[in-house]
Amino acid sequence: MTCWETIGAYAFRSLGFGEKLLPRTDFTLCQQFTLIGSGLIWNVYFGALALMLGFFLSNALALSKASHKPWARKPAEWFIFVFRGSPLFIQFFLAYSALVMLPRGGVDVLGLHLPTSWMTSAWAGALFVLFLNTSAYAAEIFYGALMSVPKGDLEAAEAYGISGWAKFRRIQWPTMLRLAWPAYTNEAIFLFHATTLVFFSGFPAFQQRGDALYYANYFADKTFNPFVPYPIVAFYFILLTGTLIGIFGLVNRRLNRHLPSNTRSKIRLRPQLIR
């Protein structure tokens, strides 16, 4: 099998297309690169979706944590504490254990029949955990940024007669986003790193469709040589991190476009809040 044929057969193996069986003997470097790259699709899927969904929940959480009303503040504080305070590893395990307890056949709510068995598959269950997890981390970042919005800006807004919702939408929120962006970039990077834990500790792999680390593990297990597949995963992740930094840098430029160039906050990659 030439390398092109290998790519054709295995490039989308992680999604269930192409060859049904994984290579069993005579492992080539090309196979390892192709299959591990194919698994990376899942890492991107988990990371991107969790990040997008988490963006909304984290904003809501940050606002409720900043609220003066205890009924809004307390639940947000607890949510953030629990998800930031415990290892993702354990969160995955507990989530999976809880999800398999749902009745197999589905539940009937108000005459509607809701199937539940899809919840235990990684694409749904693990995504859900990652979504909650990243929301908690990002909420803490956004909350911190919300607290550092300069007081002068808010007073200026009020002096111009902008108040209430308009003030929030046009002054507070954009400033918060701008201040939080460098730290949020880090959170995004580490969220993508955390996606490697999905099949490693939490959820079972279905029909040998897994993420980059799953296939690396497969090859390490078959070739008995850990020094080839794991560095390949590392290589892919360095690329992924680079891309991510590029995309977030563009957004950062846009968020800071109104500022004179010497005061723009560059994305300084500090591990602010990661798991």
Partner 1 sequence: MFSSCADPKTLEGLSWLVCYLTSGKHIDFYWSFLTVLTLLAVTAPVALTFGFGGAMAARSHVAPVRLVGKTYTAMVRGVPDIVFFLFFVIALDQGIEWMKHQVVCPDWTQPIRQGLEFRVCPEAKVPSNSSAQIWHQLYGFALAVFTFAIVFGAFAANVLYGAMNAVPRAQLETAESYGMTPRQVFRRILVPQMWVYALPGLSNLWMILIKATPLLFLLGVKDIVYWARELGSAKTQAYAYPHPDWRLWYFLFLMVCYLLMTRLSEIVLNKLAKRLNHGQATAAGEAMRRTAQ
Partner 2 sequence: MKKLLLATTLLALTGGAAAAETIRLGTEGAYPPFNFIDDQGNVAGFERELGDELCKRAGLTCEWVTNDWDSIIPNLQSGNYDVIIAGMSITDEREKVVDFSENYVPPADSAYVGLTADADVKGGVVSAQVGTIQAGYVAESGATLLEFPTPDETVAAVRNGEAVAVFADKDFLAPYVAESNGELTYVGDAIALGGGVGLAFRDSDDELREKFNAAIRAMKAEGALNPLIEKHFGPEAKKF
- Binding residues for partner 1, per CB under 8 A? 81-82, 84-90, 93-94, 97, 148, 189, 193-194, 196-197, 200, 213, 216, 220, 224-227, 230-231, 233-234, 237-238, 241-242, 268-275
If binding is defined by CB under 8 A, does position 225 make contact with partner 2? yes
> Between 90 and 156, whose beta carbon lies closer to partner 2?
90
Q: Which of 21, 109, 110, 250 binds partner 2 (CB under 8 A)?
A: 21
Residue 12 Cβ, how far from partner 1 at the closest point, in Å? 22
Site for partner 2 in 116-145 (CB under 8 A): 120
| CB contact burial 64-91 (16+ within 10 A = b; e otherwise) | bbbeeeeeeeeebbebbeebeeeebeeb
3-state secondary structure of 19: coil
The vertex-44 CA angle with 19 and 194, nearest 5°, equals: 115
Q: What is the largest CA-CA distance in the chain?
A: 74
Q: Residues touching partner 2: how many (CB under 8 A)? A: 23
Q: Which of 68, 71, 207, 258 binds partner 2 (CB under 8 A)?
A: 207
> Between 180 and 216, whose beta carbon lies closer to partner 2?
216
Instruction: Output the six-digit token pair for 243.
Output: 């891309």
93 binds, among partner 1, partner 2, none (CB under 5 to 8 A by kind): partner 1
**7 close to 34: Cβ distance less than 8 angstroms:** yes
CA atoms of 22 and 10, how far apart (whole Å): 8
- One-character DSSP codes across 252-272: HHHHTTTS-GGGPPP------
| CB contact burial 135-172 (16+ within 10 A = b; e otherwise) | bbbbbbbbbbbbeebeeeebeebeeeebeeeebbeebb
Q: Identify which range of 52-60, 98-106, 139-147, 157-165 contacts partner 2 by CB under 8 A.
A: 98-106
Residue 139 Cβ, how far from partner 1 at the closest point, in Å? 15
Residue 242 Cβ, how far from partner 1 at the closest point, in Å? 7
Q: Which of 221, 234, 238, 271 binds partner 2 (CB under 8 A)?
A: 221
Q: Which of 208, 249, 251, 274 binds partner 2 (CB under 8 A)?
A: 208
Radius of gyration from C-alpha coordinates of the chain:
22
Residue 112 Cβ, how far from partner 1 at the closest point, in Å? 29
Neighbours of 254 (CB within 10 A): 10
Using CB under 8 A, list all residues that contact partner 2: 21-22, 24-25, 100-101, 104, 120, 200-201, 204-208, 217-218, 220-222, 224-226
